Amino acid sequence: MGVEEGKEAVKRYIEDLRKKIHYHNYRYYVLNEPEISDAEYDRLFKELEELERKYPELITPDSPTQRVGAKPLEEFGAYEHSIPMLSLNSVTTEGEVRDYDERVRRMLGGEEIEYVVEPKIDGLAMELVYENGVFTVGSTRGDGKTGENITQNLKTIKTIPLRFFAETGAPPLPLLEVRGEVFIPVSKFKELNAELGARGEKMFANPRNAAAGSVRQLDPRVTASRPLDFFAYGVGRAEGKEFSMHWEVLDYLQRMGFKVSPVIRRFKEFKDVIKYHEEVKEKRDVLDYEIDGIVVKVNSIEQQNRLGMISRSPRWAIAYKFPAREEFTRVNDIQVQVGRTGALTPVAILAPVQISGVTVSRATLHNEDELRKKDVRIGDTVVVERAGDVIPEVVSVIKSKRTGAEREFRMPDRCPVCGAEVLKEGPIVRCIGVSCSAQLKERIKHFASLRAMNVEGLGEKVIELLVDRNLVSDAADLFSLTKRDLLKLERMGDKSAQNILDAMEKSKHTTFSRLIHALGIRHVGEHTASLLADNFRDMEALRNANYEDLISIPEIGPEVAKSILLFFEQGSTKELLKKLERAGVRYEKKGVRVAEEEEVKKALEGKTFVFTGRISMPREEAKSIVVRLGGKVASSVSKRTDFVVAGEEAGSKLEQAETLGVKIIDEEEFRVMVKEVVKTV
């Protein structure tokens, strides 16, 4: 076979691999129905990466490896939409929406009309251009005519196909402009904020702001780390295809691999549209994405064309909004709350107000800069918003209601709880007191919380009382509480006390990652905790880690590494860990009790392994065995590698190992090496 022919074969092989990855990506992210294991997917992906490293000239912009390929930008370019992106007129009452329907019927001369109804997603409108089925340009709506070119950021979103996924095998359209909404799911938004909060970074007020802040990052790596998602709801130009119904457009988009809201319906009777609005409104709090109403669209494109548009909004569609989760109320006071890391947060104490069924009496003002920007004063009338179950927020001040009696608020220069000095770090003011009871309360609340040690039934009030009565001076003290201690607390009955004791006992058996998270190390949220748990054998190993060990973990940066080191250097940490151990706290790693594993010989202590090619046990499992036994896993072969475990079809890493003279073993030998241990695990 000639060189060129060989190259052709590689090209075909790579193309085939890409197709497979696109397909499995679609199954996983869009359909939520993966067909293969994560490990298998990783294997395909790594194989493609390896081949592309070897043949960089074969890399294409739509390769799955190119989702985060681009370098940070200085600024975004402008992008002119070939067909303006319209906005929607909106109505809020049933009367108004009925009037709309009547108007449409009149204009169409009383013809039969079918409506397509969709949720109105509260995110950001985007346009994605596909040429011959390949994603080429993505842009924001901007002013409707010109938006920003944010292609490289949109490419990082897994539910945006890099190329059409055409089941039918029909050639893709020469040009299709897909329109839809970028958003962050509510559950992911909460995780993101928790993570940002743990790192002491600015949190987002709501999922929409989080999506906006994430999609407009100049560094696509930051965007890639944000849980952005995309729903398609329409098209701009479409060459080579005539759609006759909007429903058909949605169906086509779905078939091309886009996520289309599963909540869409079509109705001929307008009363059904109204019923749908009611139903979706009820569902609003259970959906994992924020919606602020429904969009009603005339299904027939021919009818749409006859209706046309009026001042930048189509006549063939209307937004029928839900009542805003906003109310006016008065700021009775502004108080300062001290968090777990000592951050002082200004909180507005409000005249209680009902917002869609929930009484709101406090709202966060985030920090001093935010407070100044919004210019909130004590006595002001403000607009308060409750977005999903996110903490209520002061949106704006109604300045026209000011009487002159309002008082400005200044952040204190001492901690309002312990009187210690405060330090300003960017927008955040922090109490530096080491024995601040407010911080202690928050640390213990965090320690006992659902996603940390999960001590069921140990509520915030009880924790506050325990600290106030000096019954606990750190989180580990919880475990030495007796029933008598608990019974000393107000409104504590025998049964509740017993329940708390039982829950504490239960919580002593936890996982390594939960325990790390529970410690409340600054900058270490749930995600970082699980990374640490994956990379260190046990607490002892983590405690002894140095800067290099920590920084060598992808995703862990200098700031996080330093914070971890600082945490373990403290005398109070050593004390806390000792007390936790004495109290009988045990953690499991991937189902293995470390206490039992201690007895197992650390066969692989200090040895570095590299895996290449296909082995029969899942890669993740093999890696975790190595780590559990005190070894390390690297992704590339170097002189410091001790063993290369080569499976079937091992590639360049095997060659590298041969060149460097690194010991190469096969899966069988690896199994023998770890066998004794695997048995006891």
CB of 383 to ligand IVH, least distance (A): 21
Q: Where are the alpha helices (DSSP H) in 156-245?
A: 186-198, 207-215, 220-224
Question: Under the criterion CB under 6 A, does residue 276 sit at the interface with ligand IVH?
Answer: no
Q: How far is the CB of 196 from ligand IVH (least distance, A)?
A: 25
Give min distance, CB of 94 to ligand IVH, in A. 20
The alpha carbon torsion through 464, 465, 470, 476 (nearest 10 deg) reads: -60
Q: Please select the residue that binds ligand IVH; options are 87, 92, 225, 454, rule is CB under 6 A.
A: 87
Q: How far apart are CB 660 and ligand IVH at their closest, in Å?
A: 54
Residues numbered 296 to 315 that lie near ligand IVH (CB under 6 A) are 314
* 422 vs 404: CA distance, rounded Å: 31
Q: Which residue is nearest to ligand IVH (CB)?
A: 125
The answer to the question of residue 117 lying near ligand IVH (CB under 6 A) is no
Q: Is residue 125 part of the contact set for ligand IVH (CB under 6 A)?
A: yes
| Residues 607-646 as x/- pattern, contact with ligand IVH by CB under 6 A | ----------------------------------------
> Whole-number minimum distance, CB 629 to ligand IVH, in Å?
52
Phi and psi, residue 639, nearest 5°:
-65, -25
Window 318 to 347, contacts with ligand IVH (CB under 6 A): 319
Q: Which of 19, 20, 46, 120 is an active site residue?
A: 120
| Residue partners of 211: CB distance under 8 A and separation at least 6 | 123, 124, 182, 183, 184, 228
Taking CB under 6 A as the binding criterion, the range among 117-125, 130-138, 341-349, 506-514 that sits at the site for ligand IVH is 117-125
Residues between 229 and 248 that touch ligand IVH (CB under 6 A)? 233-234
- For the question of residue 120 being annotated catalytic, the response is yes
- Name which position in 24, 120, 158, 366 contacts ligand IVH (CB under 6 A): 120
**What is the rounded distance in angstroms from the CA atom of residue 221 to the CA atom of residue 71?**
8
Please select the residue that binds ligand IVH; options are 118, 393, 588, 667, rule is CB under 6 A: 118
Q: 120 vs 517, which CB is nearer to ligand IVH?
A: 120
Beta bridge partners of 149: 77, 139
CA dihedral sign, ordered 119, 121, 122, 127: negative
* Gap between the Cα atoms of 210 and 229, Å rounded: 12
Rounded to 10 degrees, what is the CA torsion of 374, 377, 379, 380? -20
Rounded to the nearest 10 degrees, how much is the dihedral formed by the CA atoms of 634, 636, 637, 642?
10
Is position 259 an interface residue for ligand IVH (rule: CB under 6 A)? no
The phi, psi pair for 161, rounded to 5°, reads -65, 140
Q: How many residues does the chain have?
A: 681
Could you give the CA distance from residue 624 to residue 674 in angstroms, rounded to a whole number? 12
Q: How far is the CB of 314 from ligand IVH (least distance, A)?
A: 5
Judged by CB under 6 A, the chain residues 163 through 222 that form the site for ligand IVH are 181
Q: Please state, in angstroms and rounded to a whole number, the distance separating the CA atoms of residues 51 and 105.
A: 59
* CA–CA dist 400, 402 (Å, integer): 6
Q: What is the smallest separation between the CB atom of 356 and ligand IVH, expressed in angstroms? A: 20
Using rule CB under 6 A, residue 79 touches ligand IVH: no
Site size with ligand IVH, rule: CB under 6 A: 15
Q: Residue numbers of the site for ligand IVH (CB under 6 A)? A: 86-88, 118, 120-121, 125, 141, 181, 233-234, 295, 314, 317, 319
Active site residues: 120
